Structure 1
């Protein structure tokens, strides 16, 4: 018994000693790991995001949110989106149990791959994405043999992707997105037998065929290889990837037919193959497929759509848009029971739409615009109450709208303009609770507007129809209504009262009467007002002059009388037309110039203090002198009148003769040189150069918006007036420059269609961009709503701003690095960045561009060109140019995009670039400088990155500024998250979860 007790006591002592030593060891390990963390914090400059890393006696570092522990030891570090600027410390691997290391979307940097991580012997997950790492992936990357996930996307890694990456046997996820890799994709990736997720998108320097070895990836579920310069055909081995669920090979240069084996994987649910060069018809083999979504959009597919698509009973999304498909859309598609989204726009489809569309499925989006479809819209489109968007413009559809639209409360967007629809609009559609945009123009609709409109409606377009009756006062019931376009209808009565939220109001060519309301002063948001060709009478209210945002005003062909309010002259009008009324008195002095030559025609009672020949108005002083003559000079007055008439006839004879002579010579002296096939002549352009079409002017000319060929085609015409004949040498230089610029074909550079010239002037004709220039949207005082039909407000959110920055950078990078010889723009500014309907950026105004002999060479100019705030300091001093002066100007634009300030809006006499630099030098947070209108927590990190990039580009020394290709690289990295969000949002319409 005593022996047993002694043994028990001895065992207890041993156990106690063991736990004592274990506790002591754990305490030592915890202290050691905490010391490593605190050293990391110090190395990274004690960032604000880690201020909570304070050791206490009450809590362990395992409670810090960035730390994951197991058995009181660190196994994971995650610093995603922490705004840390630092390096990867070698002592990180002193955390012996570390399995996960994530520093994605920060400002970590290194001139080479951080090989120190090789010493983290248990590392399984490594994420270095969205940072500033350079160099090649090491050939011995396979030493990290325990890796299960490797993400290197959005860095500056270059060189070949090493074959040894295929020797990571446990790898399940591999992401090598948006880097500068060269060569081709290593076939050894096919040896990664456990790989489930492979993303190689946006590797623009790689040129490769699709590796046939990838067919060995039997467990691969997700393959994303968009925009990777893939060439050749898709190999049949793709059908051997039996687990594949998501395939995206879009925006490459793949050729040939779509292989039948593509449709063999049993689990395939999503296919993207758009923006390639496939030829031939869609193979009928699709009938063997149990697909959920088919996207073959943005290719060159031709032929008809196989009826076998109707057998895909699980199909929820079908996208065939932007191809060359023709024939009838199969009726069987209308019977698909799970169809949610159908996108067939921009093809050559004819015939009628499937009659049973929407009858058996929860149809949400129907996009069939820009085809040759006939017949009516299917009656059952909204039978199940889920229909959200109907986009069917530019077809030949007829008849009335489906009655179901009147009860379709889910509808948000209806675009059916440019068809042959007729009849009344279903009454319930006008007030549909979710409706935000209704575009009915260019049809034959009839009926009247209801007393109230949908409360959420922001845009109503109904031009060129047969609507009648009065425009009800309740039209303002839509609290979000910004655009009302109702030109060329049969509306009567008076103008509605409360339209205070509108930015565009077009009621021209109707039968409106009454007077202009004095409460028009409440229409503070109004940018465009057209009431021409009505029967409006009375005076022009003085309150109209208080609408500071008004830029386009047309009251012509009415019965207005009285004086033109002097306050009207203080408006910054780019277009004014008061012609064909009964106005009297002086015109405001601000209008006494050639820009308003056609603004006052057919108003006999008007005069000008400083009349010019173009205004065709009488001198007010002479008129007053005539009115003050006494009756005893009546005879002299009559004689004078007779003389004046005779003199007038004499002058008129010569004026008319000279005019005819000039008109006759118009076609003889003007020369048109085109750079592509045109659907207009020089006379179409010349006849459009009137004040009503003027949309802007600058130091080098005026810009007009001209509708050509009696169609909807619109061009922008820049008129450069020299007032003297160009010297032969200058003429040759101009022609040489135009020739080079006309050869530029880039999505982010405005397209020069032709030029028209005579001895004294030059007309440059460009493709017109609906959303005009960036500065009109960006800056508060000039921020207005344009004719865009896709945007309902005038504030650019951050994703759009970042997209604009990337687009402009792509255009400049092309000019600097891909043109031979390179081109320096010399006048990069926000007003020279134009935006299309989708806010894609195009660089414009090459009037100051200089062709360089070779990249990097400096050239001296005789004068400094450009705008204050954008001009690089060395250019102002030396007049010498190279690509870096454009980089400086672009950096200013980046600062504009992030801060919302103008280029000349610093403080006192400083520019924006100087102000931004001082802001940082004073130790102020970047966040305090950012535009409050778009600054949101989810975008703060990206905005800070772009702000820093703007500072980098505006460095005083040109040698320290990056090249545009480097700027573009950083912006693409910053925008990767945004692009992923936009891609998910876009594909969601065709690939619902």
Structure 2
């Protein structure tokens, strides 16, 4: 009985296990199918590194693979944003039948819109933004994506018109099509998508026209972004229905009329951007309490008139207030100073009067106040830095009075203090000169007084205190200062002899109109970056140091109205001064021949002892001396000539012997070793025979360069760089050679000069490159260098803008490859226009890797043994830190972009030092772009594109490395403005949003200034 009673239960257990078997097999089959599909996708994408976890060995855990999301074992999402994926979207993705989310944001994916997505029948979320898609969208996109609710195609290169079928995709909640190349009229059919919460159509090339009135029916919108879309006319009254908006951006269009008052009643509005339009009228807030959530107002660059409404002081959540570049008048409401969340106020370039709100900064975490170029009076609020967050004060060009508040001396985060051109008085708080974060101090044209410390803040880069009443001694140390202007004060004593070591980066020094005495220290000639030196109107005596004549980049020198004596150093004749004034001294002797020309006709007045051979204005002609003097002089000359001739004979004999041995060694094949990196159809003999004097096309610090025509049937031409020393190759040159061979021999890219082979002998090393027919960018941009090189004919003509942009794109591609695709990454460290070579089609290639370094760990700076690079191109950190990363190349490339747009050389900043300083000064002063451009490209239909590249150059040259963009970001901007492929002024513009490098957000960027941040 017992055994029979157990039988039913055992049988039941067996049947239960049997019933579970099909389910288990089904799950195992599904697991195998999904994993194999993912592995197929990985294969179709070329096995990118980001998918390294996708392997057969762990196929059972595919739901834990990178970017994979599952539900009940079925793959429902692929999220692979910012994964450096290249190629096109593989059709195998749609074998994942349950896939509902596909996020490929910010990769390098190419090709047309993937029409095969119609096979992804469950797809609801699709993000292909920030890639490189091209072509038109499918006209039946509603059938391709029947269930889609989120569609983002931003930042691509889609063209044509937006398909009308999108108007039938009523399930859409987000439609983001900004930053493409769409054309046609603004699509009114989008108004049918009544479930939309996000709509972005900005930065496209739509036909100029009005905003569709029908958009007022999109009452669920929280995000509206239609900046730079060629909008005209008025903002429709129907927009008063968009009460759910959080961000409302219609900036950079041609809208007219007044701002509809209904906007101010939007209770959820946080960000309002209407700058760069032609809107006019006064600002009116009918119901300020309805806008209680408003945190940011940007009405910059409109035509707004009248006062700032008092009701702005009731917007308790307001954090950002931008009203710059308008015609606002009246006083700033006191209530704004009481707002508890206020952080950033920019009201510059208006007609505002009255005083700043006295409570400003006391009740909020205010970090930036910029009100320059108004008619404000009164004092700087005493509690401006009350909460300790304040970093930037700009009140220049007003009528303000009083003293600099003592509280600013305790403002530890202050990095910019601009109070010039006012009526401030009294001593500057001592704490200002101790702040470690301050980079810019502009105080010129006030009545300020006090003493400067001997050691200025270490991070200070620009100090301008011209026309005040400062006294005491001149500071001797500030390790990062570039510009020091202190003319028109009461400084006394000598010029510090330690200035060359205490201020090694100094580019502009103005100590004119003070009471400085003593002699000019000879060490001043060691300031290798100094381009402007003004010591005029002092009591300086003694002779002019000869070392000044050897300063490599000095272009402006004013030593007038002093008590200098002796002769003008003969080395001055070798300096190409843009400005020279040695008048009103006690100089004597003959003016050196190089500056004894009419260009300096007014440079030597009131020096009775000087004489000229060129009949300069106010200077007597030099006369021959007595016969005895002439005879004595001739006798000395003959002796000197005899010694020189003897030395020349000895050197000649030695050279003949040396050349004999070299030729003997060169003719011996056993003495040369060839290492090839490509398939060659020539030998080392062909190269060596071609290295003749007639084929020499250039020489520099690291060797000579020859143009060698090979004796092959193709008649190929190569460039040969020869590195040679008298015996054993010097350690420095040997290191540069090994670096260049190591790097160029291992990388392949169409925008990096191709190293064909290297040839070594006991005392010579040769690098054989592909030959670049159009020489370097430097020789095309700067006329004075555009001369014949050996057998080449002189370069003629000038570069138009499309060609300049193509060169910039090519060079950027090469650097982008080095930084982002080489393993390990490569930092060039000597990017400059002379190292950008041009082939017969003006395609650019990066050359000269003698200073390049491999970065063994990504994002970790490498220590280098010495400061290396070229003046004007070197990033600031190269001078005080031996830790460098790829951002030094970004800085140098930014200088090249400024060269391309301005036509100036890197060291040509006039009174402002380098080109970078000159460009930043023009932006800070609000000067027009037209006057900054090279004359060859001023009259062009591409001014919008040129402006972007100019500003991109400024962004790349930010002082703080972390704030500079990556070369990938830079390349993306340049490609989107490729006028050669897109046509003038109809191409893609950039999205002015938080992540956009052109916005110039503060983000602790010391180089950021109000005018540029606002652009």
TM tier relative to shorter chain? 0.5 to 0.7
Matches within 5 A, 1:138-149: 138-143=138-143, 144-149=145-150
Distance of aligned partners of 1:352 and 1:199 in 2 relative to their CA distance in 1, 3 Å threshold? same
Asked if structure 2 preserves the Cα contact closer than 8 Å seen for 1:390 and 1:415, the reply is yes
Task: State how far apart, in whole Å, the 2-side matches of 1:395 and 1:838 are.
Answer: 19
Aligned twin of 1:735: none
Task: After TM superposition, give the deviation of residue 318 of structure 1 in Å.
Answer: 1.9
SS where residue 286 of structure 2 aligns?
A: helix
Asked if structure 2 preserves the Cα contact closer than 8 Å seen for 1:804 and 1:841, the reply is no
SS where residue 151 of structure 2 aligns?
A: strand
Aligned twin of 2:677: none
Aligned twin of 2:167: 166
Task: State how far apart, in whole Å, the 2-side matches of 1:539 and 1:414 are.
Answer: 38
Aligned twin of 2:1000: 982
Task: After TM superposition, give the deviation of residue 69 of structure 1 in Å.
Answer: 4.3
Task: After TM superposition, give the deviation of residue 441 of structure 1 in Å.
Answer: 0.5
Asked if structure 2 preserves the Cα contact closer than 8 Å seen for 1:366 and 1:389, the reply is yes
Once the two structures are superposed, residues 900-933 of structure 1 have per-residue CA deviations (whole angstroms, 9 ceiling, x without a partner) of 9xxxxxxxxxxxxxxxxxxxxxxxxxxxxx9999
Aligned twin of 1:20: 25
Where does the alignment leave 5 or more consecutive residues of structure 1 unmatched?
631-695, 702-740, 742-773, 787-792, 812-829, 856-882, 901-929, 954-960
SS where residue 308 of structure 1 aligns?
A: helix
Aligned twin of 2:133: 133
Aligned twin of 1:532: 536
Task: After TM superposition, give the deviation of residue 138 of structure 1 in Å.
Answer: 2.6
With 517-526 and 940-949 compared, the bigger mean Cα shift is at: 940-949
Task: State how far apart, in whole Å, the 2-side matches of 1:124 and 1:194 are.
Answer: 14
1:439 aligns with 2:442: yes
Task: State how far apart, in whole Å, the 2-side matches of 1:980 and 1:845 are.
Answer: 19
SS where residue 134 of structure 2 aligns?
A: strand
Distance of aligned partners of 1:423 and 1:81 in 2 relative to their CA distance in 1, 3 Å threshold? same
Task: State how far apart, in whole Å, the 1-side matches of 2:247 and 2:896 are.
Answer: 29
Distance of aligned partners of 1:850 and 1:194 in 2 relative to their CA distance in 1, 3 Å threshold? closer
Task: State how far apart, in whole Å, the 1-side matches of 2:784 and 2:546 are.
Answer: 32
Which residue, out of 612, 615, 618, partners 2:614? 612
Matches within 5 A, 1:144-159: 144-159=145-160
Distance of aligned partners of 1:210 and 1:197 in 2 relative to their CA distance in 1, 3 Å threshold? same
Aligned twin of 1:509: 513
Task: After TM superposition, give the deviation of residue 155 of structure 1 in Å.
Answer: 2.6
Aligned twin of 1:109: 110
Task: State how far apart, in whole Å, the 2-side matches of 1:51 and 1:359 are.
Answer: 54
Which residue, out of 564, 570, 574, partners 2:568? 564
Matches within 5 A, 1:65-84: 65-84=66-85
Matches within 5 A, 1:470-489: 470-473=473-476, 476=477, 478-489=478-489
Matches within 5 A, 1:638-653: none
Distance of aligned partners of 1:80 and 1:625 in 2 relative to their CA distance in 1, 3 Å threshold? farther
SS where residue 57 of structure 2 aligns?
A: coil
Task: After TM superposition, give the deviation of residue 166 of structure 1 in Å.
Answer: 3.2
Which residue, out of 393, 414, 418, partners 1:415? 418
Task: State how far apart, in whole Å, the 2-side matches of 1:113 and 1:18 are.
Answer: 39
SS where residue 838 of structure 1 aligns?
A: helix
Distance of aligned partners of 1:552 and 1:54 in 2 relative to their CA distance in 1, 3 Å threshold? farther
SS where residue 564 of structure 2 aligns?
A: strand
Once the two structures are superposed, residues 827-858 of structure 1 have per-residue CA deviations (whole angstroms, 9 ceiling, x without a partner) of xxx99x97763399658788768999xx9xxx
Task: State how far apart, in whole Å, the 2-side matches of 1:543 and 1:86 are.
Answer: 59
Task: State how far apart, in whole Å, the 2-side matches of 1:613 and 1:255 are.
Answer: 63
Which residue, out of 518, 521, 526, partners 2:522? 518
Aligned twin of 1:495: 495
1:295 aligns with 2:304: no
Distance of aligned partners of 1:978 and 1:393 in 2 relative to their CA distance in 1, 3 Å threshold? same
Task: After TM superposition, give the deviation of residue 486 of structure 1 in Å.
Answer: 0.5
Task: State how far apart, in whole Å, the 1-side matches of 2:953 and 2:311 are.
Answer: 50
Aligned twin of 1:706: none
SS where residue 420 of structure 1 aligns?
A: coil
Task: State how far apart, in whole Å, the 1-side matches of 2:932 and 2:593 are.
Answer: 33
Once the two structures are superposed, residues 199-246 of structure 1 have per-residue CA deviations (whole angstroms, 9 ceiling, x without a partner) of 221123343423333333333222111111222222233232232111
With 136-145 and 618-627 compared, the bigger mean Cα shift is at: 618-627
Task: After TM superposition, give the deviation of residue 106 of structure 1 in Å.
Answer: 4.1
Asked if structure 2 preserves the Cα contact closer than 8 Å seen for 1:237 and 1:261, the reply is no
Asked if structure 2 preserves the Cα contact closer than 8 Å seen for 1:437 and 1:458, the reply is yes
Asked if structure 2 preserves the Cα contact closer than 8 Å seen for 1:806 and 1:971, the reply is no
What RMSD over aligned residues (CA atoms) do the two structures have, in Å? 4.7
SS where residue 262 of structure 1 aligns?
A: helix
SS where residue 548 of structure 1 aligns?
A: coil
Asked if structure 2 preserves the Cα contact closer than 8 Å seen for 1:596 and 1:615, the reply is no
Asked if structure 2 preserves the Cα contact closer than 8 Å seen for 1:799 and 1:978, the reply is no
Aligned twin of 2:259: 258
Total equivalences in the alignment: 745
Distance of aligned partners of 1:130 and 1:60 in 2 relative to their CA distance in 1, 3 Å threshold? same
1:394 aligns with 2:421: no
Matches within 5 A, 1:218-297: 218-288=219-289, 289-290=291-292, 291-297=294-300
1:191 aligns with 2:192: yes
Asked if structure 2 preserves the Cα contact closer than 8 Å seen for 1:236 and 1:262, the reply is no
Task: After TM superposition, give the deviation of residue 516 of structure 1 in Å.
Answer: 0.9
Once the two structures are superposed, residues 613-635 of structure 1 have per-residue CA deviations (whole angstroms, 9 ceiling, x without a partner) of 347655657246696699xxxxx
Task: State how far apart, in whole Å, the 1-side matches of 2:543 and 2:562 are.
Answer: 11
Task: State how far apart, in whole Å, the 1-side matches of 2:59 and 2:576 are.
Answer: 67
Task: After TM superposition, give the deviation of residue 71 of structure 1 in Å.
Answer: 4.4
Aligned twin of 1:465: 468
Task: State how far apart, in whole Å, the 1-side matches of 2:939 and 2:387 are.
Answer: 61
Task: State how far apart, in whole Å, the 1-side matches of 2:933 and 2:265 are.
Answer: 52
Where does the alignment leave 5 or more consecutive residues of structure 2 unmatched?
633-780, 787-800, 802-831, 837-867, 876-883, 904-914
Task: State how far apart, in whole Å, the 2-side matches of 1:800 and 1:205 are.
Answer: 36
Aligned twin of 1:838: 923
Distance of aligned partners of 1:488 and 1:968 in 2 relative to their CA distance in 1, 3 Å threshold? farther
Q: TM-score, normalised by structure 2?
A: 0.65
Task: State how far apart, in whole Å, the 1-side matches of 2:397 and 2:557 are.
Answer: 29
Distance of aligned partners of 1:580 and 1:50 in 2 relative to their CA distance in 1, 3 Å threshold? farther
Task: After TM superposition, give the deviation of residue 418 of structure 1 in Å.
Answer: 1.0
Once the two structures are superposed, residues 770-796 of structure 1 have per-residue CA deviations (whole angstroms, 9 ceiling, x without a partner) of xxxx9799995451899xxxxxx9x98
Task: After TM superposition, give the deviation of residue 322 of structure 1 in Å.
Answer: 1.0
Matches within 5 A, 1:264-343: 264-288=265-289, 289-290=291-292, 291-343=294-346
Aligned twin of 2:208: 207
Task: State how far apart, in whole Å, the 2-side matches of 1:431 and 1:932 are.
Answer: 20
Asked if structure 2 preserves the Cα contact closer than 8 Å seen for 1:805 and 1:971, the reply is no
With 429-438 and 69-78 compared, the bigger mean Cα shift is at: 69-78
Task: After TM superposition, give the deviation of residue 97 of structure 1 in Å.
Answer: 2.6
Q: TM-score, normalised by structure 1?
A: 0.66
Distance of aligned partners of 1:8 and 1:309 in 2 relative to their CA distance in 1, 3 Å threshold? same
Task: After TM superposition, give the deviation of residue 432 of structure 1 in Å.
Answer: 2.9
Once the two structures are superposed, residues 929-962 of structure 1 have per-residue CA deviations (whole angstroms, 9 ceiling, x without a partner) of x999989997243456689999xx9xxxxxxx94
Task: After TM superposition, give the deviation of residue 487 of structure 1 in Å.
Answer: 0.7
Task: State how far apart, in whole Å, the 1-side matches of 2:874 and 2:515 are.
Answer: 27
Once the two structures are superposed, residues 721-754 of structure 1 have per-residue CA deviations (whole angstroms, 9 ceiling, x without a partner) of xxxxxxxxxxxxxxxxxxxx9xxxxxxxxxxxxx
Task: After TM superposition, give the deviation of residue 247 of structure 1 in Å.
Answer: 1.2
SS where residue 285 of structure 1 aligns?
A: coil
Asked if structure 1 preserves the Cα contact closer than 8 Å seen for 2:265 and 2:288, the reply is no
SS where residue 451 of structure 2 aligns?
A: coil
Task: State how far apart, in whole Å, the 1-side matches of 2:236 and 2:28 are.
Answer: 60
Task: After TM superposition, give the deviation of residue 801 of structure 1 in Å.
Answer: 5.9
Task: After TM superposition, give the deviation of residue 535 of structure 1 in Å.
Answer: 0.8
Which residue, out of 448, 453, 459, partners 1:450? 453
Asked if structure 2 preserves the Cα contact closer than 8 Å seen for 1:797 and 1:934, the reply is no
Task: After TM superposition, give the deviation of residue 176 of structure 1 in Å.
Answer: 0.8
Asked if structure 2 preserves the Cα contact closer than 8 Å seen for 1:584 and 1:607, the reply is yes
Matches within 5 A, 1:175-186: 175-186=176-187
Aligned twin of 1:858: none
Asked if structure 2 preserves the Cα contact closer than 8 Å seen for 1:75 and 1:97, the reply is yes
Task: State how far apart, in whole Å, the 2-side matches of 1:620 and 1:697 are.
Answer: 37
